[in-house]
Amino acid sequence: MDALKEELLSQVASAADLAALDEIRVTALGKKGRITGLMKELGALSAEEKKARGQALNALKDEIAAALDARKADLAAAYLAKKLEAERIDVTLPVRPQTEGRIHPISQTIDEIVAIFAEMGFTVADGPDIEDDFHNFTALNFPVGHPARDMHDTFYLPDAADGRKMLLRTHTSPVQVRTMLKKKPPIRVIIPGRTFRSDYDMTHTPMFHQVEGLVIDETTNMGHLKGCLIDFCRAFFDVDDLPLRFRPSFFPFTEPSAEVDIGCSRKGGELKLGNFGDWLEILGCGMVHPNVLEACGVDSTRYQGFAFGMGIERIAMLKYGIPDLRTFFEADLRWLKHYGFVPLDVPSLAHGLTR
């Protein structure tokens, strides 16, 4: 057994890799291994011999097993160190050209919208993604029982400590409320941001982006609203004679309300924007409802104004020919490389929205 012990320990110490070490383990301790074979011979010995030899074989077995475990740990550590060294990346090296970043179409579209409305005197307002029922529904003239309040549309959260019903905002309109509550007219803001609704298909996602505009003063009327949106759409889509059609509609927070269509053509299965006789809906708008003004502490007998809202993904898809809304959020670098924008090409009306 002493000779066997020396032989096996020598083999374990000289094992070059994990595969060779496992082969030694099988040779020594496997079902047909050398130590296992010696233990099978114990049955032919007397009781005293069996006890003494059995103890010696168990000690040998434990010693060889411990040596195998120690050598396995050493080989595994060496393998990992070798692999890490082979895969080491020098982070001080220059960035590879093929990994150059791109601006996401959503970010680019928001920058384009801001650039256009900034020329009209609008400023950007922002607000929290998590809202309460008052700012998201009540202050915007949504009556109790309105379908938009239903659980199947809205992501509700646990109530706040003071009992307020909390939710993920379903539109960016709560920022209009917050703006009117903390700022006196005149007001002229646009509000880009994330919104959340329980829906998912080619044209809907649970999280998406909207931009809304709000103007409040003493003289603004529906004609100003129409002129503002006509100028925006023609600048954004870069079609000088793009026709717009305003259709009467209903929204709880505006009165009168309208849905806006832009001219297009669908001939041959291709969508083309312009004065071609067909129409495509892109946004909703209207004069701010007096109830909304009063709920926000604005005197509706003195002030009036207009509001509008549109989906940012929707107008980005129209402008840049992106067929599926879900691809905006799938984090595919190939998609971003195709539809993305060079970071330093900042949109402006002076130098062009896109280059």
Residue 188 in domain: yes
| 344 domain-assigned | no
* pLDDT average, residue stretch 76-81: 90
The residue that leads in pLDDT, 308 or 143, is 308
Same domain, 117 and 187: yes
**Is there a single domain that holds both residue 171 and residue 43?**
no
Q: Are 194 and 316 in contact (CB under 8 A)?
A: no
Say whether pLDDT at 13 is over 60: yes
Helical H runs in the chain? 2-14, 18-29, 34-40, 47-86, 105-119, 133-136, 173-182, 222-237, 290-295, 312-320, 333-339
Residue-averaged pLDDT of the chain? 88
For the entire predicted model, the pTM comes to: 0.68
Domain match, 256 and 112 both = yes
Does residue 111 share a domain with residue 77?
no
Maximum average pLDDT range among 24-38, 87-101, 222-236, 318-332: 222-236
Q: What average pLDDT does range 1-24 have in this prediction?
A: 86
Please indicate, yes or no, if residue 352 is contained in any of the structural domains: no
- Do 76 and 164 sit in the same domain of this protein? no
Structure confidence at residue 256 as a pLDDT band (50, 70, 90): very high
Judge whether residue 355 has pLDDT over 80. no
> Quick one: average pLDDT of 121-135?
93
Q: Do 195 and 152 lie in a common domain?
A: yes
Q: Tell me, what's the pLDDT at 158?
A: 93
Q: Are residues 51 and 151 in the same domain?
A: no
Q: Is the domain of 109 the same as that of 82?
A: no
**CA–centroid distance for 290 within its chain:** 37
The residue to which tokens 């529904």 are assigned: 137
Specify whether 136 is located in the same domain as 285. yes
188 and 134 in one domain?
yes
Q: In the structure encoding, which two tokens stand for residue 343, read together? A: 């970071």
Task: Judge if 297 and 157 occupy the same domain.
Answer: yes
What average pLDDT does range 166-174 have in this prediction? 92
If asked whether residues 78 and 222 sit together in one domain, one would say no
Q: What is the pLDDT of residue 236?
A: 94
pLDDT at 181: 94
CATH of the domain at 296: 3.30.930.10
Domain, as residue range, for 305: 105-339
For residue 346, what pLDDT band results from cuts at 50, 70 and 90?
A: confident
112 C-beta neighbours (distance < 10 Å), count: 24
